Amino acid sequence: MDKRIIYAIVAGIVMYSLLVYLAYVQRELTGPQLLLMLVAPCVVGVLSGGIKRGAAFGFVFSFAAVLIEVAILQSGALGDVNLVMAVIIMIALPWALISAGLGALGGLLGRHIFKKKVA
């Protein structure tokens, strides 16, 4: 496995863990938390070094983070199938798609940053 992929995975786990922790402690969306939610997929995309990998990592990490955040903050919500589907359709999927776009943007930047110079 490429080092860039490992760096992107580690950075994604750390940043999204911090995001879930902030959501658990603060119990509401604040400015720093929103900034971290927008910056995390871009950083993961830059570290992955590619558009497709950035989009994939951005989608997977943010989708999982939203589901974990809902499970921690509102544990009763995962007991009802209708609420689970509502959380997935109305919260997790839209945010994951936004994060996939931001991850792809970061991947585009990362591809140019880590591009090998041919001499």
What residues contact residue 60 under an 8 Å CB cut-off, 6+ apart? 96
Amino acid 99: pLDDT: 92
On whether residue 67 sits in a domain, the answer given is yes
How many distinct structural domains can be found in the chain? 1
User: What are the CA-CA distances from residue 79 to residues 14, 15, 71, 92 (Å)?
Assistant: 28, 28, 10, 17
Amino acid 104: pLDDT: 93
State how far the Cα of 112 lies from the Cα of 98, in Å rounded to an integer: 22
User: What are the CA-CA distances from residue 8 to residues 45, 56, 106, 119 (Å)?
Assistant: 7, 11, 11, 28
On whether residue 11 sits in a domain, the answer given is yes
On whether residue 37 sits in a domain, the answer given is yes
Amino acid 69: pLDDT: 82
Question: In the chain, which ranges are E strands?
Answer: none
pTM of the complete model beyond 0.95: no
On whether residue 119 sits in a domain, the answer given is no
Q: Which residue has the tokens 């860039």?
A: 4
From first to last of its 119 residues, what are the pLDDT tens digits of the chain? 677 778 888 888 888 888 778 777 777 777 878 888 888 899 998 988 888 988 999 999 999 988 888 888 787 777 888 888 988 898 889 989 999 999 999 999 888 887 765 55
Q: Residue 10: give the domain boundaries.
A: 3-113
